[in-house]
Amino acid sequence: MGRKVEKSEEEWKRELDAEQYRVLREKGTEAPFTGKHYETRMAGTYVCAGCGKELFVSGDKFDSGCGWPSFARPAGEVEERRDLSQGMVRTEVLCPDCGGHLGHVFEDGPKPTGLRYCINSASLKFRPRE
Ligand code: FE
Q: What is the pLDDT at residue 1?
A: 61
Distance 4 CA to ligand 1 centre (A): 9
Residue ranges of the chain with per-residue pLDDT less than 50: none
Distance 87 CA to ligand 1 centre (A): 27
Given 48, 95, 98, 118, which residue is catalytic?
Answer: 118
Domains, the chain: 9-128 (2.170.150.20)
User: Is 66 considered catalytic here?
Assistant: no
Distance 84 CA to ligand 1 centre (A): 22
Burial class (CB in 10 A: 0-12, 13-18, 19+), 86: exposed
Q: What is the pLDDT at residue 74?
A: 98
Q: What is the pLDDT at residue 2?
A: 83
Distance 5 CA to ligand 1 centre (A): 7
Which residues 6+ apart lie within 8 Å of 120 measured at CB?
23, 28, 29, 30, 35, 68, 69, 101, 102, 103
Q: What is the pLDDT at residue 78?
A: 98
